[in-house]
Amino acid sequence: MLGGRVTVLQPRQGYRAGTDPVILAASVQACAGETVLELGCGGGAALCCLGWRVPGLTLTGLEIQPGYADLARRNLAGNGLAGEIHEGDVAAPPAALKARSFDHVIANPPYFETGKGLLALDGGRGRGRTGAPVRGRSPRGSACASKPKPFSR
């Protein structure tokens, strides 16, 4: 990613990061010394891209699937970035996250509402959910999510 400046490990099957996390990371107007929380961080691609682009951020992720949370930790370390990845549900975040506020809260949510679209063959892909409220953003902070605009013909 980013012309080879960021390298992320990805599973052979299941969710694989593409351009969405790169674009999401590019859209965050963060400055060194600020804090960032990514909800549903997957393998940490957006955090890695953002951390590379803006050195000195405090990077934090929340991921419901333990395997992806571990992958995010490995990807941060592999790119020379410090950060913490918590395991838990966006709808009921761990107490350690609820007690904090962040300058920026970002997410790359699932594209389909529950009960709509085709079911993923990988059972883990269906665990993400849309519609969870964004909490934990500081009063002057930003919230940013990538969500594609539907086609119109």
pTM of structure: 0.78
- Is 20-114+135-145 a domain of CATH 3.50.30.10? no
Worst-scoring range by mean pLDDT, 16-20, 56-60, 65-69, 126-130? 126-130
CB 112 within 8 A of CB 46: no
pLDDT of residue 113: 58
Worst-scoring range by mean pLDDT, 60-64, 83-87, 91-95, 121-125? 121-125
Number of Cβ within 10 Å of residue 114's Cβ equals: 11
Answer with the residue of higher pLDDT: 129 or 38: 38
List pLDDT tens digits, range 52-85.
999 999 999 999 999 999 999 999 999 999 999 9
CB 32 within 8 A of CB 56: yes
End-to-end CA distance of the chain: 32
pLDDT of residue 130: 46
The percentage of the chain sitting over the pLDDT mark of 90, rounded to a whole number, equals: 52
Kindly report the average pLDDT of the chain as a whole number.
80
